[in-house]
Structure 1
Amino acid sequence: MQKLKVDVAVIGAGTAGLVAYRAAVQQGARTVLIEGGQYGTTCARVGCMPSKLLIAAAEAAHMLDLAPEFGVHAGEKRIDGAAVMARVRRERDRFVGFVLEGVDTIPDADKVRGHARFVAPHLLRVDGVDGKENGEGLEIEASRIVIATGSTPTRLPVLAGAGAGVITSDDVFDWQDLPQSVAVIGTGVIGLELGQALARLGVRVSVYARGGSVAQLTDPVVLRQAGRVLREELDLHFQSEIVKAERDGDEIVLCTREGGEERCARFQYVLQAAGRTPNVGKLGLEHSGLALGPNGVPLYDSRTMQCGNSHVFIAGDANQELPILPEAADHGKIAGDNAGRYPDVRPGLRRTPLTAAFTEPNIVTLGASYKALTAPGKPKFAVGKVSFENQGRSRVMLQNKGMLRVYGEYVTGRFLGAEMIAPRGEHIGHLLSWAVQSRLTVDQMLEMPFYHPVVEEGVRTALRDLAHNIAKGTSDIDPDEVEPGT
């Protein structure tokens, strides 16, 4: 048995782990980075970047469909599925290459290949050293440990017996060609992004949701609007229970129950996009001395990433807080800094929450969510809104769909957050999240410049409505607000 003693051991070399490793090293700690799988982050390999490549191809196809409405007529549209997926894989590999170049700069003595698990609070056992599945094994005694093991797509037991056609988003980006048909299970960010992109590329797509959720939205008015907008283009099924899935030749027969009625349809693939599961089940956490939550994830302080009062820190998707790259990077920096200088543990920089689904229109939330603001015991808040249906620049671009709702604090007038399904919402989200983090008031935001004609003029309309409702001390209640759902 090989033995190694270090100041900090980081388990996982994804975004959070790489940032944590570098932060701990900068603190002067002798640090090792342990990875049991392929190098290359979730974002680069199977997440942010390959999905946006597929979406970009879908947008090009959609613009051809939309062109006649501008009076522009092209020839017959032809989608070369093999070429689409070849570019996705080629550019995906390029992005992964950038990550691998960064890994190559890490000294070999600091990289450990294998699967780590706790055998005691300060002791890790690493099996499969140097990539060998049955390697000799290594024991690492670490004064501090960072868990940054990421997450994997959740697999549904009801689909387990249907064979190879049941896939996750990780599998999509290795396709050699576009399929004929796909059932997408889940209306979260991944399910909606991939579902809409595939549909625009000519794939027959049906999307099924157990409830009425749409991406990360919690505002019932925006949620209802999002369901309406997306249903114009997608075959969306809310309140749908998956009953069974069976392989029949080259297809899968998927049976669902909606409103008490059972229906079956045939698909080439069934794509599971019903969330992600933290990779903590094989870490031997029962030997770590840590208190665990009901999901098996160690309890931790989101300001410091410290698990209880222990020497262990947790970062990125592994803590199941918000599985997006910017948050993983921030988690890793905080965890690595604190592990490196332990026991001098300090709160790190937590930015204003900002999430985006790159559907069209974009679905974006930022700052305090509607759900958080309406939690029991929270003070009342004012709401402003704008529909993009008649917003000038949106109509010019034939993207005049969606709604923005903005929230403000009574008395102080401080801007609190927003939820939207909106054209160019990814840009609006950045603008408004900066305002939240700067603690601007609604009046201060209305003093800022707004050009004409731009989509952001819709933001001004919503802010004016919000300012009016703050001044009068109440917001108009929308009938849709009473009954959340789609």
Structure 2
Amino acid sequence: MADFNVDVAIIGAGTAGLAAERKARAAGARTLLIDPHFSGTTCASVGCMPSKLLIAAGNAAHHVRAAGKFGIEVGAPRVDGPKVMARVQRLRDDFVSGVKKQIADLPDGVTVKASARFASPTELALDDGRMVAAKAIVIAVGSSPVIPPPFEDLGDTLITNETLFDLEDLPASVGVIGAGPLGLELAQALARLGVRVEVFDKSAQLAGLEAGEPETSLREALKDELGFHLNVEPEARRNGDGGVTVSWSENGETKEADFDRLMVATGRAPELDGLDLEKSGLELNENGGPVFDAATLQCGQSPVFIVGDANGDRPILHEASKEGTIAGANAASFPDVQSFERSTRLQVMFTEPNMAKVGAEPDEDTVVGKVDFADQGRARAMGVNQGVCEVYAKAHCGALTGATLVGPDAEHLAHLICWEIENGSKASDLLNKPFYHPTLEEGLKTALKQICKDIGLPKPDSRDDAELPGDFGSD
């Protein structure tokens, strides 16, 4: 006999798991939230929030250094590493405490501190010997950093985004393996705080972008702050100085560099080991994860659902929350499972300049509008005139479909485009909206006008179409 008999059991108390439990309980289900630690979400503890705290510190130091171009001489900033890290840790812990309070406020009997594994498609065995019987199960186990074999034996010289924020002081030098969004965000933050940083990646492009003007503009913007070694296969070993030596071949030449620490930022993988998925009856994909429907989060026709980083489809906080809500509703109503419309994809990288990806990639039915922020009026005034943005629309009607953005405050431009895609807006619709002068948003007009021109739309009857000196850049 089971020790717990519930309608919905949720494995993992991260963002997706908490959302699934909340939605299922709101639908009237008896829920059980299972987690071995209840230590807070990935976002609060090791992801979104501590990384932004470090980025904010790096940007503060950078802006002091950059003040000279405005005629303001303040000298070089003195970075106090222990104080920087103490602030990161203090505010991170505050964010985590907020999550823990949410968990503590859950009704009695909803949580159990344990690890769980499948005993059958509807039964879970806990590591304390107790058993859970559930009508439906939500897998929300999250993810953990991937450490490739060449870097597994580096001991405490190796750091990840899960250990970087626990350092008491800033290292003098860091090698970064991985030029994806996470690696670049942390690499730039560290460099701006006075750390010598070099970035290595087997890809020839940055941030997972395709070769093209946005990627080129991002590389040009970052190259003065970071040393890049792209299209290489680095290896590493501990050295006699207590640090790490990275070796690689570049342009036919073997090279080496020494660092105090090596940060591996090659991605995260779902924490599915230990779940005994072979006993779940689920069909597994080539990576060993359950096959699932992205619109329902259901695994096949089973009473099992998988959400958030555990399914690896959209490993972003707002998507994890949405997926948890979808899965919670469907688990509570199982076998009456509904498909839900997913939101437009939105990804932001918080380097300066920002990088953002919105919506769908361009295809043969896509027209592209571009704006180069090098000549954009407000960007030039602020001294942040770097980056190229591409906006995508359907060639037959001009309806917006996506964007790849590299530029100042692109995080905000990305939201505007994302919302307009969801509204079904066309490029001409946006041109008929007001654009305040001078703003970075004005830069979008250049791309939108190009789209309208390329698909033969008549010039919009814009209410503010007059072009002022230094207004939008080149049309």
1:394, 1:400 within 8 Å by CA — same for their partners in 2? yes
CA distance in 2, matches of 1:75, 1:211: 38
What residue in structure 2 maps to residue 385 of structure 1? 370
CA distance in 1, matches of 2:282, 2:272: 12
Distance change in 2, residues 1:309/1:196 (3 Å): same
TM-score (norm 2): 0.94
Which is worse superposed, 108-117 or 222-231?
Answer: 222-231
2:38, 2:113 within 8 Å by CA — same for their partners in 1? no
Report how far residue 219 of structure 1 moved: 6.0
CA distance in 2, matches of 1:419, 1:123: 45
What residue in structure 1 maps to residue 131 of structure 2? 139
Deviations 1:315-353 (CA, angstroms, capped at 9, x unpaired): 000000121100100010000010011111112241111
Check if 1:425 corresponds to 2:415. no
2:179, 2:206 within 8 Å by CA — same for their partners in 1? yes
What residue in structure 2 maps to residue 60 of structure 1? 60
CA distance in 2, matches of 1:76, 1:274: 33
What residue in structure 2 maps to residue 455 of structure 1? 440
Check if 1:227 corresponds to 2:219. yes
Amino acid across the alignment from 1:39: S
Which is worse superposed, 34-43 or 7-16?
Answer: 34-43
2:356, 2:414 within 8 Å by CA — same for their partners in 1? yes
CA distance in 2, matches of 1:451, 1:232: 32
What residue in structure 2 maps to residue 412 of structure 1? 397
After TM superposition, list the pairs within 5 Å mapping 1:40-439 onto structure 2: 40-127=40-127, 135=128, 137-218=129-210, 220-369=212-361, 373-374=362-363, 379-439=364-424
What residue in structure 2 maps to residue 469 of structure 1? 454
Deviations 1:201-224 (CA, angstroms, capped at 9, x unpaired): 000000111112322433633122
1:241, 1:258 within 8 Å by CA — same for their partners in 2? no
1:409, 1:470 within 8 Å by CA — same for their partners in 2? no
Amino acid across the alignment from 2:149: P
Q: 3-state DSSP class of the match of 2:246?
A: strand
Report how far residue 394 of structure 1 moved: 0.2
Deviations 1:408-437 (CA, angstroms, capped at 9, x unpaired): 102222111100111010100111100111
Report how far residue 247 of structure 1 moved: 3.3
Q: 3-state DSSP class of the match of 2:273?
A: coil
Report how far residue 152 of structure 1 moved: 0.4
CA distance in 2, matches of 1:334, 1:76: 51
Match among 418, 434, 446 for residue 431 of structure 2: 446
Distance change in 2, residues 1:334/1:218 (3 Å): farther
CA distance in 2, matches of 1:67, 1:229: 18
1:413, 1:442 within 8 Å by CA — same for their partners in 2? yes
Distance change in 2, residues 1:425/1:277 (3 Å): same
1:386, 1:459 within 8 Å by CA — same for their partners in 2? yes
CA distance in 1, matches of 2:281, 2:76: 64
Amino acid across the alignment from 1:210: K
Which is worse superposed, 69-78 or 289-298?
Answer: 69-78
What residue in structure 1 maps to residue 465 of structure 2? none
CA distance in 2, matches of 1:350, 1:76: 48
2:398, 2:451 within 8 Å by CA — same for their partners in 1? no
1:408, 1:470 within 8 Å by CA — same for their partners in 2? no
Identity of aligned residues (%): 45
Report how far residue 65 of structure 1 moved: 0.7
Distance change in 2, residues 1:163/1:247 (3 Å): farther
Amino acid across the alignment from 1:458: G
1:58, 1:200 within 8 Å by CA — same for their partners in 2? yes
Deviations 1:336-392 (CA, angstroms, capped at 9, x unpaired): 0100111111122411111000000000010112xxx33xxxx42111101000100
2:373, 2:407 within 8 Å by CA — same for their partners in 1? yes
CA RMSD of aligned residues (A): 1.5
CA distance in 1, matches of 2:280, 2:262: 38
Amino acid across the alignment from 1:97: S
Deviations 1:144-199 (CA, angstroms, capped at 9, x unpaired): 00000000011111111222101111001111111100000001111000000000
Amino acid across the alignment from 2:348: A
1:163, 1:247 within 8 Å by CA — same for their partners in 2? no
CA distance in 2, matches of 1:113, 1:230: 44
1:404, 1:419 within 8 Å by CA — same for their partners in 2? yes
Amino acid across the alignment from 1:403: V
Report how far residue 76 of structure 1 moved: 4.3
Report how far residue 445 of structure 1 moved: 1.1
Deviations 1:222-251 (CA, angstroms, capped at 9, x unpaired): 122222222132111110111332332321
2:146, 2:266 within 8 Å by CA — same for their partners in 1? yes
> Could you list the runs of 5+ residues in structure 1 that have no partner in the other structure?
128-134, 473-486
Amino acid across the alignment from 2:73: H
Report how far residue 73 of structure 1 moved: 1.2
1:189, 1:357 within 8 Å by CA — same for their partners in 2? yes
